[in-house]
Amino acid sequence: MDVYFSADVETDGPIPGPFSMLSFALVYAGRFDGRHFERPARYERAFYAELAPISDQFEAEALAVNGLDRDQLVREGTSPERAMTDAARFVREVAGTGSPVVVAFPLSFDWTWLYWYFVRYSLTGSPFGHSRCLDIKTAYAVKAGIPISGAGRSRMPRALLPDRAHTHNALDDAAEQAEIFANVMEWDVRRHEVASAP
């Protein structure tokens, strides 16, 4: 049984190590036994943390996007060790006997940061192993029968779009992506028109 967690991260730069993850969220996004997908009734089972930066380096453009106060996080942010260990515990408790899988849209950026931080800072390592992850954009492209290059949110059918806004708050955006993920998992492509990619 796969147990899905929608992830979103907000950072102060493009890569972990030289730059820092300032906040992240994991939202329970459903479970799948190979035949039946079960979405949550609400997207309330969640973990959120704002972290102390791990370096002095940052990009002003990244901070402008996420609106986080980096100076305040230097003083008051949760240590990465505590945040990642607590997040791993949350994932394992919610997953129970199932296998935790992280999902995001797109996955590559969020996975890079989360995996690096879990491996480096969590006392129990990554609850997702080194490969239990699923890109929502790829799942949509495969179901729709379109190239990845044409699988952006702006081209998705209305039936797949969330009711929530994209705010660049990690908790809001993880919940938004969880809704998109559930919509894609339950989507019957034969009943909806798909915009063809250029």
Catalytic residue selected from 36, 130, 166, 168: 168
Check if 168 is active-site: yes
Average pLDDT for the chain: 94
What does the pLDDT look like over 90-124, one tens digit per residue? 999 999 999 999 999 999 999 999 999 999 999 99
Which helix (H) or strand (E) covers residue 111, if one does? helix 107-121
**Per residue in 77-93, pLDDT tens?**
999 999 999 999 999 99
State CA 32 to chain mean position distance.
18
Going by C-alpha positions, the residue among 64, 46, 55, 59 that lies closest to residue 116 is 55
Q: Which fold has domain 2-135?
A: Nucleotidyltransferase; domain 5 (3.30.420)
pLDDT for residue 175 is more than 60 = yes
Q: Which amino acid is at 112?
A: T
